[in-house]
Structure 1
Amino acid sequence: MFPDFARAPNIADHPDVYEQENEAIDPTGVLWRALRAEADWAGRTIVDLGCGTGFWLPRYAADPGTAVIGVEPDPDLRARAAARVTTPVLAGSAEHLPLEDGSVDVVHARFAYFFPPDCEPGLREVLRVLKPGGRLVVIDNDWRHGEFGALLSRSAWATAQGTADTTDEWWRRHAARRTEVMSSWRCRDAAELESVLRIEFPSDVVDQWLTAHPNRHELTYGYTLFTVTA
């Protein structure tokens, strides 16, 4: 087990519901387009750091000539990812990447490891494997905008992630470019949205939101991208 590995109960305990969450993310593709604008991976080598069950790996691999590598510390999630794709899915973590120096063009970390302020070891390791000019793009939640951010601010489960100001200052000190993207979650129906919310937030927070927003199957969701160039 990797010393920096922290089990994520939302996906680890509910991988099938988390699949539904991934399907609901970014229905209009605005986040996906922003990721490409920050660091286009077409025809390059991209690492999905903390790839979980590998949901995004086939989408990265859809670009011809792109070499896709998944890295995941959780053995159960890694097994699901490996069964999903033919691309490599490696045992590793942010602090322990099983890759050669200067071998990667792009690293994406989607809600994985990079919760400042204690992320220097992982950042050093990512910069080690990036080629000169390669980019790390961290996909994080925007605590300031969107209904999801408002739920985060009321959730005791999210306190370990720090505050928006702490996160922004840490990335500023590491010369990251900050980009805000407003998107949404769009589930198939209200029942699916409730299931997804319940793996992300305590019951009291979810109950209050559902009471105030009956029969909703969509909510607004702000993302913050932090991009560091090697």
Structure 2
Amino acid sequence: MFPDFSRAPNIAGDPDLYERENAAIDPSGALWRALRAEADWAGRVLLDLGCGTGSWLPRYADAAQVIGVEPDPDLLVRAARRGDARAGSAEHIPLPDASVDVVHARFAYFFPPGCDAGLAEVLRVLRPGGTLVVIDNDWHRGEFADLLRVSAWAAPQGSGATTDAWWAERGARRTAVLSAWRCADPAELAAVLRLEFPGELVDAWVAGHPGRAEISCGYALFAVQRQP
């Protein structure tokens, strides 16, 4: 077990339901287009850091090589069915120096402060000119952010200001993207929201938004480039 590994209760608690959450995000493709604009992976080597069950690995089909790294052994078994998935963590990436062009970390490890060791390790494996893009929640835009600001589960993260300041101090470029989650029906949306928020908070939101199968969601992308 890697010392920086902390099991994520949402995906580890119900990986099948978390897969449905992953399928629901970004129906317009706004987030996906923004990721390409930050660092296009076509024909390049991409590392999906903290790849979970590997649900995103097939989406990088036009990369020259796609590598998933995941510390949770149970999730790693699932990810390996979808592609090249290896045991590792943000602070222990099983790759040589300067071997990767693009790194994506999607709600994995980078919850500032206290992330400098992982950032240093990512910069080690990036080639000069390569880019790390961290996908995080934008606490300022979207209905999902409204829930974050009142959720007891999210309270330890602060208001998002800590995250923004930490990345700004390290020269990261911040890009805001407004997208959504779109589920098959209202029951599925309520179920996946319960992975992220206390049940009573979800119940109140559902009661105030009857019949809804979609919730707007803001994302913050933090991009750091390894200097030549």
1:172 alignment partner in structure 2: 168
The answer to whether the Cα contact below 8 Å between 1:115 and 1:162 also exists between their aligned partners in 2 is no
Instruction: Please state whether the residue corresponding to 1:100 is helix, strand or coil.
Output: coil
Structure 1 residue 159: deviation in Å? Answer: 2.3
How far the C-alpha of 1:162 sits from its partner, in A, is: 3.3
Write out per-residue CA displacement over residues 45-101 of structure 1, whole angstroms, 9 at most, x where no aligned residue.
0000000000000011x21x5200000000000001112x2x321100000100100
Equivalent in the alignment of 1:22: 22
Task: Determine the C-alpha separation between the residues in 2 that align with 1:159 and 1:130.
Answer: 33
How is 1:72-91 mapped onto 2 (pairs within 5 angstroms)?
A: 72-83=70-81, 85=82, 87-91=83-87
Is 1:147 paired with 2:128? no
The C-alpha deviation readout for 1:121-152, integer Å capped at 9, x for no partner, is 00000000000000000000001110001111
**How many pairs were matched up?**
226
> Hey, what's the Cα distance between the residues in 2 that align with 1:54 and 1:160?
27
Q: Output the TM-score relative to the length of structure 1.
A: 0.96
The code of the aligned residue for 2:64 comes to: T
- Name the counterpart of 1:69: 67
For the Cα contact (< 8 Å) 1:117–1:166, is it kept in 2?
yes
CA distance in 2, matches of 1:46, 1:92: 15
Tell me by how many angstroms 1:203 deviates.
1.1
| Aligned mates of 1:96, 1:156 — CA distance in 2 | 31
- How far has the Cα of 1:198 moved from its partner? 0.8
Alignment partners' CA distance in 1, 2:73 and 2:150? 31
SS at match of 2:203: helix
1:28 partner SS? coil
Distance (whole Å) between structure 2 residues aligned to residue 93 and residue 159 of structure 1: 25
The ranges of structure 1 where at least 4 consecutive aligned residues each deviate by more than 4 angstroms after the TM superposition are none
Please give the secondary structure, in 2, of the residue aligned with 1:185. Answer: strand
Give the TM-score taking structure 2 as reference length.
Answer: 0.97
1:30-179 paired onto structure 2 within 5 Å: 30-60=30-60, 62-63=61-62, 66-83=64-81, 85=82, 87-179=83-175
SS of the residue 1:157 aligns to: coil
Quick check: 1:147–1:221 contact (8 Å CA) kept in 2?
yes
> In terms of mean alpha carbon deviation, does 187-196 or 160-169 score higher?
160-169
Identity of aligned residues (%): 68
Say whether residues 1:195 and 2:222 are aligned partners.
Answer: no
Partners of 2:187 and 2:200 lie apart in 1 by: 17
Q: Which amino acid aligns with 1:125?
A: E
In 2, Cα distance between equivalents of 1:161 and 1:46: 28
| Amino acid in structure 1 at the alignment position of 2:43 | G
Moved more, 113-122 or 158-167: 158-167
| 1:25-58: CA deviation from partner (whole Å, max 9, x where unpaired) | 0001010000000000010000000000000000
Aligned-pair CA distance for 1:158 = 1.3
Any unmatched runs of 5+ in structure 2?
none
CA distance in 2, matches of 1:96, 1:151: 33
The runs of 5 or more residues in structure 1 that have no matched partner are none
Relative to structure 1, the CA distance from residue 143 to residue 182 in structure 2 (aligned partners, 3 Å threshold; closer, same or farther) is same
